[in-house]
Structure 1
Amino acid sequence: MAPTLRRVVAITSLRLRVLAGAADLDRPVRWVAVSELEDPTPFLEGGELVLTTGMRLTPPDAGPYVTRLVERGAAGLGFGVGLGHDDVPEEFVAAAARAGLPLVEVPRQTPFIAIGKAVSDLLAAERYEELSSAFAAQERLTRAALRPGGVAAVIDSLAREIHGWAVLLGPDGEPRHLAGDGADAGTGLVQAEVARLRSPRAPSSLALSGPARHVVVRPLGERERLRGFFAAGADRPFTPVAHTIVNTAGSLLALSLVRGRDQLAAARQVRAAVLELLLAGRHEAAERAVAALGDAPPSGPVVVLACDPADAEALYDALPGFTAPFGDLVAALVPASEAERAAAIAGTHGRAGVSAPVPTGELATGLDQARLALGSADPVTRFADLAGQGLLSLLDPGLLSGFAASLLAPLRDYGSRADLVESLRAYLACNGHWDAAAQRLGVHRHTLRYRMRRVGELLGRDLDDPAVRAELWVALSARSHTGRHSETGSASL
């Protein structure tokens, strides 16, 4: 930021005396311009301290001269005395007072070049101070990035450095971390602009400005592998130093996210190996391997969850207990006391099967139970609930239907008027009791005996064998079970 005119006139060696506009001395001085022209404004940009001896100026020129300087945005007027004028003409003092333009008297012994050097030194000092401030802020941001939870720490530090607010958003545009006053309101504004940064020809960043709101929005990562967005806002325009700080924060956030993803991927590979050790019963080796992660599998009875999430990243962060990749699934070992909470969380992220509580020495059994339960159409299915649905609920409906159709095909293809399938069903339902089965069918028991001999011949199986009876009963039951499954699936669609 440029030094103010107040700082310039405070330099005692210049011996400047304020004659008008003392209330406006806090204007920034961006340069010193020396001119003896009646109208120097074509050569000004605004913010200059204009110095003149008034050699070509007369008292009637005072009003128009001062007006032109004000309209051009001059910071002030320095009137040198002792050459063209012994004193600053009263007309110039009055005109400057009316226009609110600071006017200072420059004594004969103060060279204009001395004022120019003094302002130049102040500008250099201000620039050095700005650079030092930027370097210090960058150092603080870097230290924040190296701390645990570095991404959130960078957002917190950025909000403090710019005296405003900052927000981190995920690739989906949802806020992940907010810091600073105004972050809540600013997040809504940023989310509305995120879609623009996703488009193929999107700019590298967006700047939004309003009367009391100034916001910068930037994507994190390459557009093909977008890792999120961040935004910073304040109630005043960003200075060059603030822009430097925001850019530094963006670079640190991008690096932290990449490093974090790589570390997470490596940690999950370790967890997958630990899960394999646990399933193999090698608990001591598993504990040594997972110790490097600062974690440990739960002890005591655990519940195993087999999860098929829509967003595995979000599920890993949300689930309690020990989580690890398991093929295309996410497996979670959860203390029995946390089972219900974990199941509810898993259900909000996709589908999950939940085992019964098992000792840590029987994790393989728990995982098998959880995977069987995952086969249900419900978002969350507990293995214990499958028992009430019968053994057939554990079998794949397609495989079950194919097995039944293949096994019973010879009976359906038999050309007799006798319904061998229903006769077999009655016979098995009555546990092989001829009289009860015949009475159910409304036929003589000798007729039923004949039909069962024909069934045995067509199937090539011994109906007195309990295993054969079990297979036939499963095949007969499959028709009604798969029919109910299909109806349930259609209704759910």
Structure 2
Amino acid sequence: MCKSGTVDALPTLTVADLVAVPELGITRAWIPDPSVPVRWVATSELDDPTPFLEGGEVLLTTGLATAAHGAAQWRAYVGRLATLGVSALGLGVGLTHDAAPQPLREAAAGAGLGLFEVPPPTRFVAISRAVAALLEPAEQAAARLQRELTQDATRPDARSRVTARVAQVLRGACAVVDPDGAVTDGALDLDPDVLASALVRIRADDRRSSTSISGPDSSTAVHPVGLGGTPRAYLVATTPGRWSPFQRSAVLTAAAVLSLVESGRAEQRDAERRVVAAGVRLALDGDAAGASRVLDLARPPRTVPDPLCALHLGGTPGAVTEAVDHIETGALVGTHEDTTVVLVDEAGIDRVVEAAQHAGAWVGVGPTVPAAEAARSAAGASAALAQASDARPVTRWAEQTRAGIGALVPPGAAAAFASEVLGRLRAEPDGTALEDTLRAYLEEQGHPGRISDRLGIHRNTVRGRIRRIDALTGRPVADAGARADLWFALQTTAPPALG
């Protein structure tokens, strides 16, 4: 029967509790599952009362609309009630029906719906009063649980206290997990792959939605923790069998109070982020001492890595935010030229890259440098990020410098530059010969004899072509800067090397 007392008594009013009340005089009942919970009582004489029900009610009727029902009609009537989740059907006998019709009993048994007869002396209002009286202890227990969970939420170890209390109520397990499914507080006995799949489903549908996992012997609910934005944690609760209303209320209350706790943590986290970002700005300005003093104010205190590596994050704002959520506990995060920048020691580079990729963000990796040269690493990270794309989300400054200056310029810009520098030359009738001469001049370092031998032309012809090249490109090859421009333009359009 519905019990009061400690919250771990799982107070739930069941159909069996109701029909066992002596004052109701219920002697004929067919209850397939006595443990089905009862939320309230409803009365209806409609053939289809389901639009006015929520599920979990005991439905009382005298059968005025069902007097002529045959077996098929009873099956349809009962099927509608069972589908909605009505707890049981109470048929008042002595008016329309002298007893529960056999087709009704068979339909109820087939649908798994509890059925009982309400004898003539018993008024429907008496059943409503009995349910109210039986529910009162459960309501008191629910209110008491809410108070206790709220008190737990005020403690420093709020998450541990809340999950422990809910696990006791559920006679199961309860934990807070991070977005990857790792348990941070409490305990779980749940297949990690099943949980990971549920978290992926939540993120795919709506980051603030909840989901459930039903098994043959247990039920699990997953709720986001927090009041807005991308959840940083989830409450996972498991109970043997089906959920009772009291258990559902316990889990929802726990999710609510933990969300309030998380809101307070979010404010602290925002303040912490501002302190760390200020330290990052000072480090990038070359003021390592000032950065250290500011980072000492963080809780816990932080330090500037030495040596360090700067990484720039890019992509969609949502992806960058998610990446930062995973990264910031083990790195310094701030901004550089309106871009999110991360400072880590060399050992932390791979972790940042993996977190960024997992979140769908792009990342540019700068060189590892002494802390005093943080700005140089950030500049390299910025240049690397400029080359990132969905097809190539991770780019590294070191790889680009090995590939030459061409790797640092976007392909479109490089092609436009080459066209501007060499366009008039290529438009000449002998443009190919002029381009070959220019390439030979640069590769042979301007030596007339070697150029002549390489091209099989007279030295005077070489000199004449060079004068034309100077005029057509507007860049005299005798000038070192002009030679650099010409060489870059040629490399941008050079055919791929053979072999």
* TM value normalised by structure 2: 0.60
The residue that corresponds to 2:302 in the other structure is: 296
Q: Does 1:479 find its partner at 2:477?
A: no
Equivalent position amino acid for 1:419 in 2 = A
Could you say if the C-alpha distance between residues 153 and 347 of structure 1 is closer, same or farther in structure 2, counting changes exceeding 3 Å?
A: farther
Task: Report deviation, 1:449.
Answer: 0.8
CA–CA distance in structure 1, aligned partners of residues 427 and 302 of structure 2: 60
CA–CA distance in structure 2, aligned partners of residues 365 and 137 of structure 1: 55
The residue that corresponds to 1:323 in the other structure is: 333
Deviations along 1:232-263, one digit per CA (max 9) or x if unpaired, are 33225656654442232121133234444454
Equivalent position amino acid for 1:234 in 2 = T
Equivalent position amino acid for 1:356 in 2 = P
Could you say if the C-alpha distance between residues 141 and 236 of structure 1 is closer, same or farther in structure 2, counting changes exceeding 3 Å?
A: farther
Q: Does 1:159 find its partner at 2:167?
A: yes
Q: Does 1:305 find its partner at 2:319?
A: no
The residue that corresponds to 2:111 in the other structure is: none
CA–CA distance in structure 1, aligned partners of residues 454 and 144 of structure 2: 94
Q: Does structure 2 retain, via aligned residues, the 8 Å contact 1:278–1:363?
A: yes
Task: Report deviation, 1:230.
Answer: 4.3
Could you say if the C-alpha distance between residues 459 and 179 of structure 1 is closer, same or farther in structure 2, counting changes exceeding 3 Å?
A: same
Task: Report deviation, 1:471.
Answer: 1.9
Could you say if the C-alpha distance between residues 156 and 420 of structure 1 is closer, same or farther in structure 2, counting changes exceeding 3 Å?
A: farther
CA–CA distance in structure 1, aligned partners of residues 205 and 358 of structure 2: 27
The residue that corresponds to 1:421 in the other structure is: 435
Task: Report deviation, 1:132.
Answer: 6.1
Listed as ranges, the gaps of 5+ residues in structure 2 are 5-15, 35-88, 91-129
Equivalent position amino acid for 1:335 in 2 = D
Q: Does structure 1 retain, via aligned residues, the 8 Å contact 2:149–2:257?
A: no
Q: Does structure 2 retain, via aligned residues, the 8 Å contact 1:304–1:366?
A: yes
The residue that corresponds to 2:140 in the other structure is: 131
Deviations along 1:294-317, one digit per CA (max 9) or x if unpaired, are 232334211222233673344334
Equivalent position amino acid for 1:315 in 2 = A
Deviations along 1:52-92, one digit per CA (max 9) or x if unpaired, are xxxxxxxxxxxxxxxxxxxx99xxxxxxxxxxxxxxxxxxx
SS in 2 for 1:296: coil
Q: Does structure 2 retain, via aligned residues, the 8 Å contact 1:219–1:226?
A: no
Equivalent position amino acid for 2:287 in 1 = R
Could you say if the C-alpha distance between residues 318 and 226 of structure 1 is closer, same or farther in structure 2, counting changes exceeding 3 Å?
A: closer
The residue that corresponds to 1:387 in the other structure is: 401
Task: Report deviation, 1:327.
Answer: 5.9
The residue that corresponds to 1:106 in the other structure is: none
Q: Does structure 2 retain, via aligned residues, the 8 Å contact 1:137–1:161?
A: no
SS in 2 for 1:431: coil
Listed as ranges, the gaps of 5+ residues in structure 1 are 5-26, 48-71, 74-119, 486-493
CA–CA distance in structure 2, aligned partners of residues 243 and 415 of structure 1: 84
Q: Does 1:463 find its partner at 2:477?
A: yes
Q: Which has the higher contact order (CA 8 A, sep 6+)?
A: 2
The residue that corresponds to 2:118 in the other structure is: none
The residue that corresponds to 1:99 in the other structure is: none
CA–CA distance in structure 1, aligned partners of residues 196 and 365 of structure 2: 41
The residue that corresponds to 1:147 in the other structure is: 156
CA–CA distance in structure 1, aligned partners of residues 342 and 357 of structure 2: 13
SS in 2 for 1:353: strand
Q: Does structure 2 retain, via aligned residues, the 8 Å contact 1:166–1:231?
A: yes
- Pairwise mapping of residues 243-392 of structure 1 onto structure 2 (< 5 A)? 243-290=248-295, 291-308=297-314, 311-319=319-327, 320-326=330-336, 329-349=339-359, 350-376=361-387, 378-392=392-406
Q: Does structure 2 retain, via aligned residues, the 8 Å contact 1:167–1:183?
A: no
Equivalent position amino acid for 2:466 in 1 = M
Farther off after superposition, 206-215 or 375-384:
206-215
Identity %: 26
Could you say if the C-alpha distance between residues 131 and 283 of structure 1 is closer, same or farther in structure 2, counting changes exceeding 3 Å?
A: farther
Aligned counterpart in structure 2 of residue 409 of structure 1, from 423, 427, 431: 423
Task: Report deviation, 1:210.
Answer: 8.1
| Higher radius of gyration, 1 or 2 | 1
Farther off after superposition, 445-454 or 267-276:
267-276
CA–CA distance in structure 2, aligned partners of residues 33 and 211 of structure 1: 35
SS in 2 for 1:355: strand
- Pairwise mapping of residues 18-33 of structure 1 onto structure 2 (< 5 A)? none
SS in 1 for 2:461: helix
Q: Does structure 1 retain, via aligned residues, the 8 Å contact 2:174–2:235?
A: yes
Deviations along 1:18-77, one digit per CA (max 9) or x if unpaired, are xxxxxxxxx979997569xxxx44899999xxxxxxxxxxxxxxxxxxxxxxxx99xxxx
CA–CA distance in structure 1, aligned partners of residues 358 and 214 of structure 2: 39
CA–CA distance in structure 1, aligned partners of residues 165 and 341 of structure 2: 36
How large is the RMSD of aligned CA atoms in angstroms? 4.7
Task: Report deviation, 1:127.
Answer: 5.9
* TM value normalised by structure 1: 0.61
Aligned counterpart in structure 2 of residue 184 of structure 1, from 172, 188, 191: 191
CA–CA distance in structure 1, aligned partners of residues 415 and 155 of structure 2: 59
Q: Does structure 1 retain, via aligned residues, the 8 Å contact 2:314–2:340?
A: yes
CA–CA distance in structure 1, aligned partners of residues 407 and 384 of structure 2: 9
CA–CA distance in structure 2, aligned partners of residues 477 and 376 of structure 1: 18
CA–CA distance in structure 1, aligned partners of residues 431 and 216 of structure 2: 91
Could you say if the C-alpha distance between residues 135 and 415 of structure 1 is closer, same or farther in structure 2, counting changes exceeding 3 Å?
A: same
CA–CA distance in structure 1, aligned partners of residues 385 and 153 of structure 2: 42
Equivalent position amino acid for 1:298 in 2 = V
Equivalent position amino acid for 1:459 in 2 = T
Deviations along 1:370-402, one digit per CA (max 9) or x if unpaired, are 222334454444323333212222222222221
